[in-house]
Amino acid sequence: MSISKKVSGLTKITKAEQLPSWFNLENYLPTQGFNLLDWYTNFIVRNRAYTRYFMSKSDTDRQELEKIWRNPICKPSDHELLPESAVTELNLSPLFHLSDSEFTERVKIIFQSQQNEIINLTINSSAPDEVIINELSQWLSLKRHSKKKPTSKSWRAFNETDMYKWKEYKVLAALDLVLYEMTEDIKITDSLLSHVLFFDDHQKNVESIRKTLRPMIKDILFRALIPLQAQIRSNLSIRNK
């Protein structure tokens, strides 16, 4: 009997032996001692690696993802965590060779991950500096003034309660399996996730995966990183004073 099923165009993974060979829950035990910077480091490293692979679909970027999966604990000292500038050039040239449907899918992911905190502009670089600076200053002032409505989810400061939940729900291990799903275009069933992550915790059932864990991972991938980054930046700034 086949241990995988084709559902909605995706291969449905139902048995533990179908999971990738690199997955070992014991490799994630160090997360029990994580502080907020540790969590942010491991979240952002995965977010950037997956985004690079999603944009390029190259073997090199896929290998970088697999390197993280095989050695899942990333140390803050080994990575450049915070962007150097508030201004970053958006390069869409890697997308131009794609079909219309692939282009639309990947651009959707880019803008979904940015939410309301990052806005992409077009600037006429041939215009005089003073014109660009003046117009950008006026636009930024109006934009911030007009942003009176709260976003769909306003973020408070992350604290010990959040970190306890990330540990309790084994979020980093689950995040790697979800990224593997997204990379391979497969579906790991919630019952299998519940079994491999919480085999010793009968309180975490399939409903916990669907209602709590998967939404938590979606927030981490697409919404929480920017406010978490701002908090980390603020904490480091205060510490360095």
> pLDDT tens digits for 169-206?
999 999 999 999 999 999 999 999 999 999 877 667 88
The stretch 109-123 carries a mean pLDDT of 58
Q: Residue 21's pLDDT is what? A: 96
Domain count, the chain: 1
224-233 residues labelled b (16+ CB within 10 A) or e (exposed): bbbbbbebbe
Mean pLDDT (the chain, rounded): 80
Residue 165: is its pLDDT beyond 70?
yes
pLDDT band at residue 238 under the 50/70/90 scheme: low
pLDDT at 72 over 50: yes
Per-residue pLDDT, 106 = 57
The mean pLDDT value for 109-125 works out to 61
How much is the average pLDDT of 72-78? 86
Whether residue 27 is predicted with pLDDT greater than 90 in this model: the reply is: yes
Structural element, H or E, at residue 153: none
User: For residues 184 and 43, what is the distance between their CA atoms, to the nearest angstrom?
Assistant: 20
Distance CA 111, CA 66 (A): 25
Residue 176: count of CB within 10 angstroms of its CB: 22
In the predicted structure, residue 75 carries a pLDDT above the cut 80: yes
What pLDDT, on a 0 to 100 scale, did the predictor assign at position 84?
Answer: 45
Q: Which of 17-31, 123-137, 140-154 has the highest mean pLDDT?
A: 17-31
Instruction: Return the C-alpha torsion angle 153, 156, 160, 164, nearest 10.
Output: 0
Mean pLDDT of 214-231: 88
Coil, helix or strand for 4?
strand
Q: What is the mean pLDDT of residues 2-13?
A: 63
Lowest-confidence pick of 58-62, 119-123, 126-130: 119-123
Mean pLDDT of the 3-31 span: 84
Higher pLDDT, 23 or 87: 23
Does the pLDDT at position 148 exceed 60?
no
User: Which pTM does this prediction carry?
Assistant: 0.72
Please name which of 53, 40, 99, 92 lies closest in space to residue 225, comparing C-alpha atoms.
40
| Pairing outcome for strands 186-188 and 10-13 | parallel
Query: E-strand spans in the chain?
Result: 4-7, 10-13, 186-188
Per-residue pLDDT for 209 more than 90? yes
Residue 8 falls in which region: left (phi positive, over 0), alpha (psi -120 to 50) or beta: left
Percent of the chain with pLDDT over 70: 70
Q: Which domain holds residue 165?
A: 4-240
